[in-house]
Structure 1
């Protein structure tokens, strides 16, 4: 008995050391354990094989040993292996093999002192139900308690020993007994690394007859137990996790974090793109403003923008032409004909403004166009004098008269007349030509006088 226990201890130590050789770092597990949520079974390792060793004994946790044919069980070494197909995370189907010896002494009938049964083979098919997937590493299941239940066939040879007598084979020709049995077990698996599990279990095998110990007595079938420890190895690509130990919640959490990161990156990329677009718009706007500033800049203050000024740096208060060059004063005799006077008179007669404003009405444009044509063709100079009646304040009337004269000047300049040849002044109500006491007189006083020279 002590020798068998020593052998079992050495076996357990070897299995634990072997398990450490297969262990991997948590970082590797974290990398390999992710599977996209709701993936099919082809994303996992579903096949595995296992080897184990332990103690075989006729003692079981079911019933009392006092009712057995031999009431003093002894422990013998047993060994086994299996191949398993995991169907879903909580259930798999496995084919088991078990071998070894089972022995006991203290026969109740006094005829035989002990027995030893050689278990040539015991093959069974079982369902493996995982009760829980306990997570102690926050990423994947580490401990999986399980139950097994199955059916199988075994071949065994019982030998009975009497006190001081020759051992007796159960069958005279020493043939094996073939019988069915029902294995029921429980245990726990501990994940040691990627694809390696430590398997510790206890199995009770209910034999279909009372022949297992070689002695038939009473009405109860024989049974024996197998307490074992071993290693389970997952088959398939190491990049795939085991279906039995996989933690789908961890994968869903990883998926959420990845998607959240992608969303943040996409939003940040969009923000960066919008910032870049805004920066480009600001740059384009600054460039446009700079170009506009160049087009409107008038360094010498002569009224002609630098872009069109052919004579830059003109002295202050120098009269210039449309190109920004000083006007050459020439003594030119100007003759104003009666026809010219008539053109001016028609313009004065037809000139109308919006009430209380300096806006010229369109009905005045044709006669003003003729005045512009006259000024361009004959190079005349023109003085525009704005006047008002005495309705309103002096300041308002002075401003209105000046604005109306400037409005006429602006119109004529827009038709090609040289601005330097037009003088626009306002006199307000200071130079009436009729009485302001009557409506007709006030109408006459509201005027713009044209003087050709």
Structure 2
């Protein structure tokens, strides 16, 4: 019995000292992915020793118990990473005799010299609790402790031998069938993704006093135990990990690291895009000679500031003072409809001032109108109240400037176009609804 206690004492220490790198490549499975991502069924075989005593103590009807062989098999269904249902089957022999002298020279019985019980069969259903699956020290588990408890039925046939050497069957008419409660503990090692090594010890509490072939008066409850070494084989898709080895804290940590890295990549990409956009806007707004035409479109650089220029930045012919003043231009309803159409079709890239190509056609018609009638245009950019106030003000200004730059690139006179940004300060609808915010994100055109 001492070696059993030694095994149960040393093995937990060995489990804590295990190095996880040799047994599992990844923690496996998703944190909230469900059991379909794991293997949950397994079968096992084992062999060991049976003895008519248990570690928790209690007397039997013979003074000395003996070790004898036992064997078993099981089928297990892992419900959760820490809980499983296991059906156990076991057989073997249990022996004991009265060779050990007690202090007073007496024994529970002297009618028989020894007994031998053949455990023909036993079956039980057990709940198995993994008490060391969640490993806060290592990302991969190499060993786990477990406890089990359940209930079952055993069929056995005792034979007793008298001091004179006469052996008789305790129940000649057949086997004894009794209910029992198995309570066990053990340690399991993960040898591979398929095979686990199982070392266990189970105490069996019988609902009767017939196991050793002697019914003591007053009746007591016979007990026996089984210490075993076994192999467990996981069933199912080998690409899936075993649920019983699932380490939820490790999976949670890995998922958080992956999300953090992905967010960092996205943030770096956004910073790079913002830098490119700022450089483009700065290049677009550069006007070295101050004539109102960006250097990017100015075909006549270094024009004196006093000169009036056309959309290409080239000086306009000097006005003839002898000629009559300019003819008044009438803005028709068709002109206003053309501008309204341009407003309705104006679209920008999300969160940016880049004009989408689908808006070019209507803007081209506005540019042609401005050139044809020499009209002036005021552009007013607006946003909703989502985001930082300063960023919204800057975005509204950039979008108005982008429209101006495009119209100038189509030949419109930059000196007749004014671009202003108002940010979120002048809403035309409520910002509490998506539809209202959509209306507030706009660029207004005013021709005169």
2:72 aligned with 1:80, yes or no? yes
Cα distance in structure 1, aligned partners of 2:36 and 2:296: 66
In 2, distance between residues paired with 1:143 and 1:222?
A: 33
In structure 1, how many angstroms separate the alpha carbons of the residues matched to 2:265 and 2:90?
57
Is the counterpart of residue 42 in structure 1 residue 36 in structure 2?
A: yes
Q: What is the alpha-carbon distance in structure 2 between the residues aligned to residue 105 and residue 53 of structure 1?
A: 23
Q: CA RMSD in A?
A: 3.8
In structure 2, the residue corresponding to 1:193 is in which secondary structure? coil
Give, in angstroms, the shift of residue 160 of structure 1.
1.4
Matches within 5 A, 1:117-132: 117-132=117-132
Change (3 A) 1:146 1:25: closer
Match of 1:51 in 2: 45
**Do the aligned partners of residues 34 and 63 (structure 1) sit closer, same or farther apart at CA in structure 2, a change above 3 Å counting?**
closer
- Which has the larger share of helix? 1
Q: 2:90 aligns with which of 93, 98, 101?
A: 98
Contact 1:34 1:254 in 2 (8 A): no
CA distance in 1 between counterparts of 2:260 and 2:23 reads 23
Q: 1:237 to 1:26 in 2, by over 3 A?
A: farther
Match of 1:208 in 2: 207
CA distance in 1, matches of 2:324, 2:116: 141
TM-score calculated relative to the size of structure 1? 0.55
**2:283–2:296 CA contact under 8 A, matched in 1:** no
The superposition leaves residues 27-72 of structure 1 with CA deviations (integer Å, 9 ceiling, x where unpaired) of: 88343x23222222222222222222211001222334xx321111
Q: Give the Å deviation of 1:179.
A: 1.9
Q: Distance in 2 between matches of 1:48 and 1:155?
A: 26
Q: 3-state DSSP class of the match of 1:29?
A: coil
Distance in 2 (CA, whole Å) between partners of 1:223 and 1:91 is: 26
Could you tell me which residue of structure 1 aligns to residue 153 of structure 2? 153
The alignment's TM-score, normalised by the length of structure 2, stands at 0.56
Q: Which residue of 2 aligns with 1:289?
A: 295
How many Å separate the matches in 1 of 2:171 and 2:223?
A: 20
SS in structure 2 at match of 1:83? strand
Instruction: State the structure with more CA Rg.
Output: 1
Structure 2 residue 257 is matched with structure 1 residue 270? no
Q: Deviation per CA, 1:301-334, whole angstroms, max 9, x where unpaired? A: xxxxxx99xxxxxxxxxxxxx9xxxxxxxxxxxx
Deviation at 1:102, TM superposition (A): 0.6
1:399-442 C-alpha deviation (Å, 9 max, x unpaired): xxxxxxxxxxxxxxxxxxxxxxxxxxxxxxxxxxxxxxxxxxxx
TM superposition shift of 1:216: 1.8
